[in-house]
A = this chain, B = another copy of it.
Amino acid sequence: MTADASSFSFALAGVEGEARAGTLQTPHGEVPTPAFMPVGTYGTVRGLHPAEVKRAGARVMLGNTYHLHLRPGEEVVRALGGLHAFSHWDRPMLTDSGGFQVFSLEGLRTIEEEGVAFQSHIDGSYRTITPERAVEIQWDLGADIAMQFDHVVPGGSDHALAREGMERSLRWLGRCKTRHLELQSAGEAPPRFPASPPSQALWPIVQGGTHPDLRRASLDGILERGPWTGIAIGGLSVGEPKPVMHAVLEQLAPVLPREVPRYLMGVGFPQDLLAGIARGVDLFDCVAPTRNGRHGSAWISTGRVNLRSTLHRLSKEPLDAECDCETCGTFSRGYLRHLFVAGEILGLRLVSIHNVRFLVRLAEQARAHVLEGTFDGWSREWLRRYQLKGES
């Protein structure tokens, strides 16, 4: 089997329409869903201490295989005890496969059936990632959940290109699974911290662009190659119009297996989180909380706030009076603005903490409302208030 069934499980606790509330069990503990996963590109959620990420309520962190492969290299992470010990994160960890990043390197890479040859954006060195290598790297990193290596095509790709990527992703899924099984049966556990069952799940990724027949074929191919403890949906939020993304999710919701979590990759603006949850998604990730945070842009319950604005110069108010994060409980908007204007590092850190907590809490609130059967009404009202000012 592809994953140790004793270490991974998913239990649905409530369903309202297509929206779901559940609990994912992993070797590093459980993740109540829906859940937002902050992105720790290089083994750190940018600017934040792992203790801050934990206090923000995050139950699972994402690591980027492509970036960690280039710096410091999976052999270094493994020698230092694996990604959990390396970055001092004792909760579940998920790694992407590097596919998305490798395919973003326009002009720097060559795609063949064997894999993708590319030039490192760090030192110009030539590298190749194959499905087998992607699985091996993630094994060395030691995440709880590894993702298949997939062929990502640009958003808006025509049927022929989307089909090519989808079919190759299925063939690569087979090779990923074979290599993952070999690593597991070799008995050499991925590095783990703290000590935990030596198991790692491998999750497939549904591709097919915006073409319903291809999405369906992708899912069918994935299910033939199962069983799986989770299934991801890739190739969305890459420039296509929002209604198109929603249509794909609406098509997949009733046909995805109910009993495994569904992870919508790279999605995580507040509206998208709620739209995804309404369409049956359980897991999300996005760099936006920290990327926006670094620029002084914060999400609050009534929309978006630009902390560099002179509006906040004399404001004693917290960033978000309804927020329970460390930043809002401690500092004024006036101080936060000052930190951004003066270029002080503490500013981006404090706003990143808030943004991460904001999305984690939004998922927590959605979960509570699904369990109470009030998600639909709450979500509509939440979005109305959030979008009232016309910003997003």
Contact = CB atoms under 8 A, between A and B. Distances in A.
A57 to B, nearest CB: 18
B314 A345 contact: no
Interface of A: 42-44, 46-49, 67, 71-72, 76, 79-81, 86-88, 313-314, 316, 330-332, 334-335, 337-339, 341-342, 344-346, 348-350
Given A47-B346, A49-B346, 14 more contacts: A42-B338, A43-B338, A44-B344, A47-B345, A71-B338, A72-B337, A72-B338, A72-B342, A80-B334, A80-B335, A81-B316, A86-B335, A87-B335, A345-B348
A79 B313 CA distance: 10
B342 A42 contact: yes
- Dominant SS among interface residues on chain A: loop
A335 B47 contact: no
Nearest to A85: B332
Nearest to A81: B316
A76 B46 contact: no
Copies of chain A in the complex: 2
Contacts of A342: 42, 67, 71-72
Nearest to A71: B342
Nearest to A330: B88
A88 to B, nearest CB: 5
A280 B67 CA distance: 52
Nearest to A352: B345
A76 B345 contact: no
Contact of A344 (B42, B335, B339, B350): B42
A346 B348 CA distance: 12
B81 A345 contact: no
Contact of A334 (B44, B76, B332): B76
B344 A76 contact: no
Contacts of A346: 44, 46-49
A349 B344 contact: no
Contacts of A338: 42-43, 71-72, 76, 86
A96 to B, nearest CB: 17
A80 B81 CA distance: 46
A344 B45 CA distance: 9
Given A341-B71, A345-B349, A79 B44 contact: no
Contacts of A350: 49
Contacts of A46: 344-346
Q: Among A67, A86, A337, A342, find the residue whose CB has the most chain B CB atoms closer than 10 A.
A: A342
Contact of A76 (B76, B81, B313, B348): B313
Contacts of A344: 42, 44, 46
Contacts of A331: 88
Query: Which A-B residue pairs are the 5 nearest by beta carbons?
Result: A72-B338, A42-B342, A47-B345, A44-B346, A80-B334
A76 B314 contact: yes
Q: Among A316, A346, A348, find the residue whose CB has the most chain B CB atoms closer than 10 A.
A: A346
A42 B343 CA distance: 10
A71 B348 CA distance: 17
Given A86-B335, A87-B335, A80 B42 contact: no
